[in-house]
Structure formats: structure tokens, C-alpha cells
Amino acid sequence: MTDHIIVTDDGFIRTIQFNRPEKKNAILHAMYAKITDAMRDADVNPSIRVIVFKGTPGSFTAGNDMMDFVKGQRPEAKPHADSQPVRMFLKALPEIQTPMVAIVDGIAVGVGVTMLMHCDLVYCSPNASFMTPFTALGLVPEAASSLLMPAAIGHQQAAELLLLSKPINAKDALRMGFVTRVFKASKLEKKAKKEIDALAALPPSAVREAKRLMRRLPEPVADRMAVEGKAFSARLSSEEFTEAASAFMSRRKPDFSKFK
Ligand code: COA
């Protein structure tokens, strides 16, 4: 079987790569489990100072695998269990103390965007596109994005993504402030690496402490995730999501006109 998540260590840097390009790097349960293990392990490994997430050319990730979303709602899958790989991944995001950097080329959808709110630096190419189609799928935001995104970029800007489900291009993402810098696609990896190397060369305890201080928010992120998690699970069993998922799978436009 192909390795859908590739983990490599190079000096102080651990890179976690989404590698399922034929499905735009949509994330399966097993992939969440491997990513979480790699993050947790890096966080207690004193020789790792930076965690980097990247995808494949043209795709960061299309978010949660749609089929897994649907399968995950069956009672035997225990959708509400904290041991669900996706929940364990979401829980890890705010708990990781090691700085996290994302390199985004092409599409980032759903959790592929909301996880960026937990990354300390985000570098993307001009062809990056950011989409959080939660409402379009009959769902609600997750990963504490309903808290972190309005706090980071302002309610009205966040509403374009989280309420309107509108795709945002690299230029707008930079203007809104959830991307650190945009680099030419051909230079993206090289230029991002320069910044990542600089971060890894700084005093590691000071960097972690600075991150901890910067991440202090009025409402604990974990509390917001729990509230979102309940709403999200309920939405996954809604008729609106069922319509959106079946439309995606049969490649037709969803019809929400019958819903009140
Ligand atoms: N889950 C499962 N499969 C996915 C997927 C996802 N989230 N995103 C893409 N794929 C699959 C497609 O079904 C297709 O598979 P196929 O070749 O076997 O038919 C393949 O990846 C390529 O996707 P395609 O839609 O043909 O590419 P595109 O460039 O036209 O569009 C996206 C790319 C990401 C815009 C589009 O695939 C999409 O909207 N995906 C759903 C994203 C989503 O809603 N994620 C959940 C957010 S909560």
C-alpha cells in the first residue's frame, strides 16, 4: 500500500507530508492517526525543533475524506468516541508546543485550512486556494476555527470562509492575514526552508515559550473544540449533510431547496 503520510526528519526539522495525490490528499482515518503520532513524538523529541506540514504539487489537502465522513457516522464506528483518529488529531493541534509551519501549494480544504490556524507560520504559492465549505456541506466549523479564525482575521473576513463557504486565493489570504508569505511556486519549498531553518536555529526553549505566550486566548481552545465537536457530529447525521455528501459522490449539484 502507498504511504499516504510520509514522515521525514532532517536535522531539527520533522516534515509530515500528505501523499495521496490521486485523491487530492484527502485525509483518511489511518492518515490522521499517523500524523498525530508523528506530531506527538516530535513534541517530546528534544532533537526536533520545528514540525512542517506539506502536501504534493497542487494539493495541500482536500480535507477529510468524504467517504470516511459518511462511514464514520455509522454506529459501529463510534462517531462520538474521543479515540477517533480525527478527534485525536484535533486535540493534538493546540497541545503541540513545537512550532508548526505549513507549506501550501494548491488546494487546502476543510481541516486543511482550519489546521493552519494552529500553525505558527504559513507559506503558500500564488496558486494556493483556501476553502472551508462547512456550511455548503450542511456542517459547522471545527478545529476551534470558529474561535481562532475570527480572532486572527476579524469576524467579517472569517465569515467569507466560515459562513459563505467562499474559496479564498493566496493574495486575499495574505491580505486577510492567515498566510505569512506568498512565494513563487517554483521557489516555495526553497524559500520556506530558509525561514524554517532560521526558526530551527533560534534558542528552542525561548521559541516554545514565545509560542505558548502568543497562543494564550480568552477561551480555552479545547473547550471550543468540544462545543464544535458536538455540533459537528450532529451535523454529520443531518439530512443536509447527507444531501451534500451524496451530491459530491455522484458528481451533481446539491439541492438544499427542500430544507427548512
Ligand atoms: N474526499 C474524498 N475524495 C476526494 C476528496 C475528499 N475530500 N476531495 C477530492 N477527492 C477525490 C475526488 O472524488 C476525485 O476522485 P476520483 O478521481 O476517484 O473521482 C479525486 O479526488 C480528484 O478530485 P476532483 O474533484 O476531480 O478534483 P478537482 O480539482 O476538480 O477538485 C476539490 C478538487 C478539492 C475542489 C474537489 O475535489 C472537492 O471539492 N473535494 C471535496 C472537498 C471537501 O469538501 N472536503 C471536506 C471539507 S469539510
Mutate to test the pocket of ligand 1, among 19, 22, 23 (most ligand atoms within 8 A of CB): 23
pLDDT one-digit tens code per residue, 183-222: 999 999 999 999 999 999 999 999 999 999 898 877 888 8
DSSP code, position 76: G
pLDDT at position 73: 67
As a whole number of angstroms, the distance between CA 150 and CA 223 comes to 16
Atom 48 of ligand 1 has which residue's CA nearest to it? 110
As for ligand 1, residues whose beta carbon falls within 6 Å of it are: 23-24, 26, 62-67, 107, 109-110, 133-134, 137
Q: Which domains, ranges and CATH numbers included, belong to the chain?
A: 2-200 (3.90.226.10), 204-250 (no CATH)
Measured distance CA(252)–CA(166) in Å, rounded: 19
Query: Atom of ligand 1 at shortest distance to CA of 139?
Result: 48
> The pTM is what?
0.93
C-alpha–C-alpha distance, residues 134 and 141, integer Å: 6
pLDDT at 173: 98
Ligand 1 centre to CA of 81 (Å) is 26
Residues of the chain with pLDDT under 70: 1, 73, 75-80
pLDDT for 79 = 63
Specify the pLDDT at position 80. Answer: 64
